[in-house]
Structure 1
Amino acid sequence: MPGAAPPPLLAVRGLSFARNEIPVFGPLDFSVDAGEALLVQGDNGAGKTTLLRVLAGLLPADAGEIAIEGQPAGASLRARAIAYLGHLPALKADLTALENLHFSCGLFGRRRGQLPGNALGMVGLAGYEDTLVRQLSAGQKRRLSLARLWLMPTPLWLLDEPYANLDLDGITLVNRMVQAHLRGGGAALLTTHGAYAAPPVRTRMLTLGGGAQTAALPEPG
């Protein structure tokens, strides 16, 4: 309809997951609009990682619906719309840093106007183009994973503890990447243990465990 608001980038209704018939989370109802971040918090075992894996299609939900821009989130749509950054770096140890990025671009495509070499510079890995991934530190591997994420032309980011293995400069890097992604019309879900990690963007919070609930965080200054 003319003037109708666009559907949320991600909408979840009645989403539940159980392991060995023991509920992990749910039922959950939430949505994330373009230009918005959702910060997922909760104690260890509350289901933060599991939720992101269900949204990414890596685990099957027991109940509920997931929609992306108003369409049911089937496998092909998730592949086009979602980038998932998990605890593991998802890098090939016997390829160089630059080869890993070219490999990723061959699989998923590339964000318009961005090049693998430039992405390495953006994450602080200029000069490591020809270094094998197995020779990188944990923090450098995390930065390389962030460069891969940045190159993917997907509107929805699912970031599981994106600040892990990063120093303060790395945390600032993640926040700047999220800001730029949201400015371009994307959205992000981030899991974290610490409120300090909330990026300075329009953010809501989803707390898992003890009765999941959502709340708006103050607008960034």
Structure 2
Amino acid sequence: MTSPVLQTVALACERDLRLLFENLDLRLASGEMVQISGPNGSGKTSLLRLLSGLMQPTAGQVLLNGQPLNEQRSELARNLLWIGHAAGIKDLLTPEENLSWLCALHHPASREAIWQALAAVGLRGFEDVPCHTLSAGQQRRVALARLYLDSPPLLILDEPFTALDKQGVAQLEEHLAGHCERGGMVVLTTHHTLSRMPAGYRDIDLGNWAV
């Protein structure tokens, strides 16, 4: 069995005094895509935040390469890209400025690379316009352009297909499947039915760990 890169051990999560799930054991190895499903309020986004180091578990552990996640902040920053449900961009900045700002801390990118990433998500010609003038779908594409900027091996994405048109959905599906086929890893939530999945795809229903 391939050694997991990311792993949870007896993980439990409580929000607002309610235990969402417990005893969750999850293994993610190179080349795998895991879709987290479950009813509203089951803790899907909370689990993604736990895996990204943005929350602390109520019980259990998250391990990165066999070591506790909270002891590997710099390693996590180099190897993980988190894109949440909200686009997370600044309205008054341009797409180029947003990507430069978002990438500056851990994965600095040149102007040429940023423009190429924006072209890859269909935003050629929009590099220098304020983001508040863009549609919701275009703003989502700005956030997703980070996937084309030397993206790290582990991608954790919360509802990445939100506000995308049919072409954007197909393009993102292809990119994520290709990322896994090149040895990368993806954990995502989505209400969209995937039509392009890598060989290492599986679905985990959090309802099975509900309390």
Structure 2-normalised TM-score?
0.89
Matches within 5 A, 1:145-184: 145-184=143-182
- Equivalent pair of 2:50/2:62 in contact (CA under 8 Å): no
2:105 counterpart SS class: helix
Cα distance change of structure 1 residues 178 and 154 upon mapping to structure 2, 3 Å threshold? same
- Count of residues paired in the alignment: 206
Question: 1:52-71 deviations in whole A, cap 9, x for unaligned?
Answer: 01111222111111112223
Hey, what does 1:197 align to over in structure 2?
A: 194
* Distance in 2 between residues matched to 1:152 and 1:158, nearest whole Å: 15
96-105 or 154-163, which deviates more: 96-105
C-alpha distance in 2, partners of 1:106/1:190? Answer: 24
Cα RMSD for the two superposed structures: 2.0
User: In structure 2, the residue corresponding to 1:185 is in which secondary structure?
Assistant: coil
The within-5 A match list for 1:28-47 is 28-47=24-43
Report the AA paired with residue 179 of structure 1.
A
How much has 1:152 moved relative to structure 2? 5.0
TM-score by length of 1: 0.86
Q: Is 2:32–2:185's contact at 8 Å kept on the other side of the alignment?
A: yes
Alpha carbons 1:82, 1:157 under 8 Å: kept: yes
- Following superposition, the deviation at residue 133 of structure 1 comes to 1.0
| 1:108 aligned onto 2:101 | no
What is the aligned partner in structure 1 of residue 117 from structure 2? Answer: 119
Q: Give identity over the alignment, percent.
A: 38
Deviation, 1:141, is 0.7
Structure 2 stretches lacking a partner, 5+ long: none
For residues 184 and 115 of structure 1, the distance between their equivalents in structure 2, rounded to whole angstroms, comes to 20
Aligned position for 2:68: 72
CA deviations 1:167-204 (Å, max 9, x no partner) are: 1111112112202322332100111224x225421201
What is the one-letter code of the residue matched to 1:60? Q
Q: 1:54 aligns with which of 50, 54, 70?
A: 50
**CA contact 1:110–1:153 (8 Å) conserved in 2:** no
